[in-house]
Amino acid sequence: MITARISFYVLFLCYMKEEKVILVNENDEQIGTMEKLEAHEKALLHRAFSVFVFNDKNELMLQQRATHKYHSPNLWTNTCCSHQREGESNVEAGKRRLQEEMGFTTELKDTISFVYKAPFDNGLTEHEFDHILVGYYNDEPNLNPEEVSNWKWMDLEAIKQDIERKPDVYTEWFKIIFDKYYQHINLKTDASNR
């Protein structure tokens, strides 16, 4: 078991060294690229996206991060999130990662963006210019067990109350998005986004 964990961690570090993020300024203008791990160690601002997929009941699809994730393992969060690759639009990146993590794709709309910073217990920091992508889907996902351990649909008001009661079961970025932009992601009041 220990050998398997060490092997996974070595493979993960190799992946992190190969995968690059797009460094940006406060206007989301690209100023360079950097290996993902280094950017998170140095807490440098980089471009990212968060996907929110709703069903016809206006419930949000949440995912529970896999147990072996390098930060925020087992925590509940939005449908998926990641980083754009160089030359990739926000929507293209969102669709790619949605397929990789949740096993499906759907049309996505680029809605709002904001900067946030969230340090983690392992010494890494997410400092992201985050683009919120919204889509609709009514079927079950086909989870990638390397990324996701569970999923569920949840009403927005129920999520809000659950975060207040049990904040430790949710990722930091999801709590930030939900707290600061609740009115934007509560699509009940904005049917024009459909």
Residues 111 and 122: their CA atoms lie apart, in Å, by 31
Cα separation, 173 vs 177, whole angstroms: 6
Q: Is 101 a catalytic residue?
A: no
Pick the catalytic residue from 101, 128, 147, 172: 128
Candidates 81, 101, 126, 172; catalytic one: 81
C-alpha 18, offset from chain centre? 20
| Separation CA 61–CA 118 (nearest Å) | 23
Give the CA distances from residue 79 to residues 87, 107, 113, 163, in Å, rounded to whole numbers and listed in that order. 23, 14, 17, 16
Active site residue 128: yes
**Catalytic residue positions?**
81, 128
